[in-house]
């Protein structure tokens, strides 16, 4: 289980999964993500989409960190983000299935899609933290 979590973290932490990167370097043409034609293209498109979502989440996290006034609040948000990343890895290992692995053609793409789904939820959480102005909001 631990090795699958580490494999997942490595996959979502890179710009492209290894399989997709190899295919990209072999082909000079850009992949049309509006109509991917094979699993390599689908994986690359899923990763591109996830990268865009991840950048949005990182921007919101940075914005909220700048708004926080105390070191204690900043540490709490940082700890929450670290815990969320671990949750993300474990949830996607569970959701994609730990019996499948890198030899499964759809494994990397499904991991990326799972990560994107959870990251979109995290974006909503961060947006609600940023929008919070009532008493009791972290400052």
Identify the pLDDT of residue 21.
Answer: 44
71 contacts: CB under 8 Å, gap ≥ 6? none
pLDDT digit string (tens) for the chain, length 139 residues: 555 554 455 555 543 333 344 444 444 358 888 888 888 888 889 999 999 999 999 999 999 999 998 999 999 999 999 999 999 999 998 998 865 666 677 888 889 999 999 999 999 999 999 999 887 776 6
Scored b (16 or more CB within 10 A) or e, 74-85 reads: beebeebbeebb
Identify the pLDDT of residue 25.
Answer: 41
Does 47 reside within a domain? Answer: yes
Does 124 reside within a domain? Answer: yes
Does 28 reside within a domain? Answer: no
Identify the pLDDT of residue 39.
Answer: 84
Q: Which domain holds residue 45?
A: 41-131
CATH number at residue 67: 1.20.1270.180
């Amino acid at each position: 289980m631990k090795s699958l979590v580490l494999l997942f973290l490595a996959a979502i932490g890179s710009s492209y999964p290894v399989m997709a990167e190899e295919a990209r370097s072999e082909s000079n043409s850009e992949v049309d993500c509006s109509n991917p034609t094979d699993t390599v293209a689908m994986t690359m498109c899923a990763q591109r989409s996830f990268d865009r979502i991840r950048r949005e989440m990182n921007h919101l996290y940075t914005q909220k960190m700048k708004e926080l006034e105390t070191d204690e609040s900043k540490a709490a948000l940082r700890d929450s983000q670290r815990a969320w990343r671990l949750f993300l890895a474990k949830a996607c290992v569970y959701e994609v299935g730990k019996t499948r692995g890198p030899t499964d053609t759809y494994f990397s793409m499904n991991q990326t899609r799972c990560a994107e789904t959870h990251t979109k939820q995290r974006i909503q959480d961060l947006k609600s933290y940023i929008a919070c102005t009532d008493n009791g909001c972290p400052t």
